[in-house]
Structure 1
C-alpha cells in the first residue's frame, strides 16, 4: 500500500489483533470508559461484529491524521436497518478486502450503516482514535491512507440522499474524530477529491458542505460564510457534455491525445483517450476524469503560450463571462474557471513528512 511518502522515523509497528470487546452506548464492555467528544456515537469494535483476525501486522504511524475522507460502499440501499444487518455488512466488506483485494484487513477505519450503527473497520482504529495521537494506516484511498481517516457509508448515493440515521451517525462520528485529532471540519473530503471515482455518490458528495457546517457546529466552532465549500475538481463521465468536457478535451490534445475532437461531448474517442492518458500517468483506469487525473491534466499554462492548453482556458473563460483570467493559470485558477473553486485546503495542520 502507498505510504504517502512518510518518513521512516514516523512509523511505529503495530501488532496482530486477535480479539477485543464490543462498544455499546459509549462505554467499552469491559468497563473501561470511553471519553467521547460531544455527541460521540457508540462504536461497535471488530470483535463486536465478528471480524476475522487481520492477516499481517497493522501499520500504525506516529502522527495524527489531518483530514477525513467520506466514501459510500456502492452496495444496495437495503431496507434492513438492524444491527445484525450492519454487522453482516462489515463482515462482507472485510471478506472482499482480504480475499479478493488481498489486503491484510478491512481497508477503511470506520463504517456507518444505513440504520446508523457505527462499526470499527480496520483493527485497532478505535483504540488508536481513543488515544488521539497516532494513525492506523488504511487502504481506502491511494496517497491518503496515512493522513486521512476513511469512513465508509452503507449504500449508493448517486441519486438519493442517505437516510437520516446514517447522516446523524456520520456527523457524530466526524465530530468525535475531529475532536480527538484536532482536525478542522473544513478538512472533510469525498473520495472523488483524490481519485477518479464517483464515490461517495453525487448526492452524498453534494452534502459535504452541510456536513462540514454541522460538524463545526457540533464542535462549537461555526464556519464563516463560504468556508464550507472546498476547492475540488469536477467529475466528468462518458455521456457528459459542456464547456468542462470541451476544456478537458483540449487538455487531452495538449497532452498528446490528438485523436480527441474538442466537441464538448464525452464520446467514445474521448473515453478511450482518457483511459490511455490514465495508463500513461499510472492512474486508476476507470474512464472518468476526477480528482486523480485533473491535477495532472490541468497543468500550469501561460495564456499567451498558444495551442490547445490555451484554448482550454479560453473555453472556460468564455463561460465565466466578465471574470478576469490571469496570465498564468495555476491549478487553483483552473478550479475557479471550472466552477469548483471554493475555499482552499487548510495545510496548517499537516504533519512533517507526508505530502497531501
Structure 2
C-alpha cells in the first residue's frame, strides 16, 4: 500500500450504507459541499496561503484506502477528519493537503480551509499540499477508495464530474486540463482504473458545461507509468535511457524487472525525486529524456528508434526529439506498458 494508503488506518471499517448524496448538478452549478466547520475540522495550525492568481488545472487523486461500503455522510466526515489528522500530525502540514475530498457515498467535503470560499469567488487560489510543484496552480481532489482494479461508485463519479465542472466554470479552466496525480509524480495515484477514465471525465465535464471535446483531445498525451512486470517498447526505451545516464547494469530487453526497478531507485535518489519507489512516472520521465536526433548513435537514439519501430508517430531522422516529442512517442498506444 502506498504512503497515502496508511493515512486512515482503522477508519476504513465498513458498515451498512445509511444514505447517499443528492442528484447531479447541471451546467456547472455549485454542488453541495460540506465545509470544514460542518465536518468538524481542526483549526489550521498556520495561515493558509492564498495566491492572487487562478489555478489552471485540476488534479485527481485517490486516497488508496479500502473501498468501504458505508456510504453515509458520517463516514465521509470521518474520512475528512482522518485525512486532516494524518496530514497535520504525521506530515506536519498546516491543514489537509487537498482542496476537496469526495467520499464513496458521493459527499463532497472541503479539505483545506478557505478552499470553498476562494473557489466561489473564482479569482484566487488556496495553496494546497497535494502534489509538489502543482500546489499553487492546480486544485487537488481526493476520491475515497483504491481504484487500481475497481471502478469508483457511480455516485462518487457523478460528484467528481459535478465538482470538476464547477471548478472549471469558476476559474475558466478548460476541461482538458484535468490530470491525474501520476502525470506529475512517480505514483500509481489515482489508480489505473480511475486514471484510465480521465478522458471520459474530461468529456463529461465539457458536456456539463455545454462544450464539445473530441475523443482524441480528451485522451491527451501523457507520460506512461512503468512498474515491475511491465513489458513493451516504452519499457525498452526507458532501459536505454537509464543506460544513457550510467545505469549500465540494466538489460535493454523490454521487461521491467527488479534490476530495472533498482536502477530507477538509484536514479531517483540521485535526482532527489519526491518518491524513491522504482516506478517511472510523471516526475522521472522528464528527468530521463533528453534532446536527441532519431538517427543518433548512443542509448538515447536507440530509445527513440525502439519507439518508432513499435509504430509510434514518426519524425524525420534529422529532427530533434525534445520533451514534448518524447511524451507523444511514449503515449502512443503501441508504446504503452502491458
Give the TM-score category using the shorter length: 0.7 to 0.9
Residue 290 of structure 1 pairs with residue 285 of structure 2: no
Contact 1:97 1:103 (8 Å CA) reproduced: yes
Residue 332 of structure 1 pairs with residue 320 of structure 2: no
Give, in whole Å, the separation in 1 of the partners of 2:135 and 2:80: 19
Give, in whole Å, the separation in 1 of the partners of 2:22 and 2:154: 19
1:227 is paired with a residue of what secondary structure?
Answer: helix
Deviation per residue, 1:87-131 (Å, 9 max, x gap): 000000001101111110000000001110000000000010011
Which residue pairs with 2:211 in the alignment? Answer: 221
Deviation per residue, 1:201-237 (Å, 9 max, x gap): 0000010011011101111111134221112000000
Q: CA RMSD in A?
A: 1.9
Aligned residue-pair number? 310
The structure with the largest helix share of the pair is 2
Give, in whole Å, the separation in 2 of the partners of 1:167 and 1:325: 43
102, 118, 125: which one pairs with 1:135?
Answer: 125
Shift in alpha-carbon separation, 1:266–1:322, aligned structure 2, 3 A: closer
Deviation per residue, 1:11-60 (Å, 9 max, x gap): xxxxxxxxxxxxx989xxxxxxxxx9634310000011110011111000
Which residue pairs with 2:15 in the alignment? Answer: none
Which residue pairs with 2:235 in the alignment? Answer: 245
Which residue pairs with 1:258 in the alignment? Answer: 248
Deviation per residue, 1:140-172 (Å, 9 max, x gap): 001000000000000000011100000000000
Contact 1:295 1:331 (8 Å CA) reproduced: yes
Which residue pairs with 1:51 in the alignment? Answer: 41
1:329 is paired with a residue of what secondary structure?
Answer: coil
Gaps (5+ residues) in structure 1? 1-23, 27-35, 342-356
Give, in whole Å, the separation in 2 of the partners of 1:224 and 1:74: 31
Q: Which stretches of structure 1, 4 residues or more, deviate above 4 A after TM superposition?
A: none
Which residue pairs with 1:305 in the alignment? Answer: 296
Give, in whole Å, the separation in 2 of the partners of 1:108 and 1:335: 27
Which residue pairs with 2:158 in the alignment? Answer: 168
Gaps (5+ residues) in structure 2? 1-20, 334-338
Which residue pairs with 2:185 in the alignment? Answer: 195
Contact 2:250 2:263 (8 Å CA) reproduced: yes
Shift in alpha-carbon separation, 1:25–1:264, aligned structure 2, 3 A: closer
Contact 2:102 2:143 (8 Å CA) reproduced: yes
